[in-house]
Structure 1
């Protein structure tokens, strides 16, 4: 906590129950940097990203994840086309089977027409989510929240000036007190 008014607590031990403001995220990791030079935060971020992006383990995991994501997208597209052709078959072909010539007497049970709209919509929504994930999270690392330098750094000129002014003020008061009571100190020392 750097007292800048931005909440930055991470529950890495899962002490708190999950609710609207607390979310447990297992595929994230949190990096905190404490530095006297906030200007170097960009270099720290670039170094961390370079390390992760050049790590063979992370590269292989990302390739596998992207391949599986593409396979799921292809499978979803196949399912969508099959469901669409099944819907066309049910609607057009089976209605043709029900036509009979005049003079025939046929007893049929009323066939229930099955609608595939919800299934098609769910598959399409799933495909859109997968496409979005492929577009947005295609890199090994996605930085969700970059390092934010504190609003008032600890080593700002104002902070340094305050610290030294307070120190010299206290030293000055002590010197004034010692010099003003110097004669009294000598008398007390001579008595004992």
Structure 2
């Protein structure tokens, strides 16, 4: 009897679940149909809001100056990335304040060229796969330090420059290079780093010479001076000839790596990927028209809904006041 009752309860449970699922999809379909019908009935009004928003966006675009954007990826050879980014983002603060006089002084440019700069900013490069290769640039600074699935690249960063006029962009590039290279602190760090690399190369050369001499002794002099064996008699205390070739190869590779660092990364920073071409305006007219058309369209939906429900809203407010 108990088993039969449990079976009935289970069937009732499935029946109610089926009803709830059916009610959910019925309500969802009804909501979609009513939404489509609402937009269809008020299409002209909402379209009017969109058109007004488009005209507003067009007017705003004429007041805003068009600008161009370019990015460069650089490798840090002296200090850490966060310190270098903070140093470069001092220029970002000057751009925000429109302090063209100080900006021109820092970049060793004329004030006229500095006025063509909209912004200069440094951003982190994010590695999503932890393979040491950057996957995207964190332009919005949304990286979460608690996220263990990705990490910041610690020796490279993205430098973005926005200018109003492409004619002075080459001067801006030279100014940025001057800004980094004339820094006494960064230069002293770089010279100290190169000095240590040269010392390591010299010490590695000495070790290679010593190991080469030892190898010649082991392979030639020791073998020639070894006593001849008589019959099958073995000399148990005789040491085997050491193979020093792997050690020599390791030292040569270490030396080549140091020489590569000294040759390729001799400056404060190394340009990994140069600035991209300034071929496209970042704030075209259509971008403003679409954005403001969407804003006014949403505003039209809200205002039309409030207008249709004005009686209900008025009654609700009156009830609140009477209480």
In the alignment, structure 1 residue 108 sits paired with structure 2 residue 235: yes
The structure-2 alpha-carbon separation of the partners of 1:41 and 1:21, relative to structure 1 and needing over 3 Å to count, comes to: same
Deviation >3 Å, runs of 4+: 20-25, 102-107
Aligned equivalents of 1:21, 1:142: Cα separation in 2: 16
| Alignment of 1:18 onto 2:130 | yes
Higher deviation after alignment, 16-25 or 30-39: 16-25
Where does residue 253 of structure 2 map in the other structure? 125
TM superposition shift of 1:29: 3.2
Q: Distance in 2 between matches of 1:154 and 1:116?
A: 61
Higher RCO (CA 8 Å, separation ≥ 6 residues): 1
C-alpha change, 1:140 and 1:13, in structure 2 (3 Å) is closer
Report how far residue 90 of structure 1 moved.
1.2
- Paired position in structure 1 for 2:199: 71
More strand by share: 2
* 1:3-49 CA distance string (max 9 Å, x none): x9x9x8x9838573412743753233321122232333322221111
3-state secondary structure, aligned to 1:31: strand
- 1:30 match: 158
Looking at structure 2, the residues matched to 103 and 12 of structure 1 have their Cα atoms a distance apart, in angstroms, of 73
* Number of positions where the alignment pairs a residue of Structure 1 with one of Structure 2: 156
Cross-structure match for 2:213: 85
The TM-score, its normalising length taken from structure 2, stands at 0.41
Query: Aligned-pair RMSD on alpha carbons?
Result: 3.7
Higher helix share: 2
Give me the whole-angstrom Cα distance separating, in 2, the residues matched to 1:20 and 1:28. Answer: 11
Q: Per-residue deviation at 1:116?
A: 1.3
The residue that corresponds to 2:29 in the other structure is none
Please tell me whether the aligned partners of residues 38 and 153 of structure 1 are also in contact (alpha carbons under 8 angstroms). Answer: no
Question: Which whole-Å CA distance do the structure 2 matches of 1:49 and 1:91 have between them?
Answer: 54
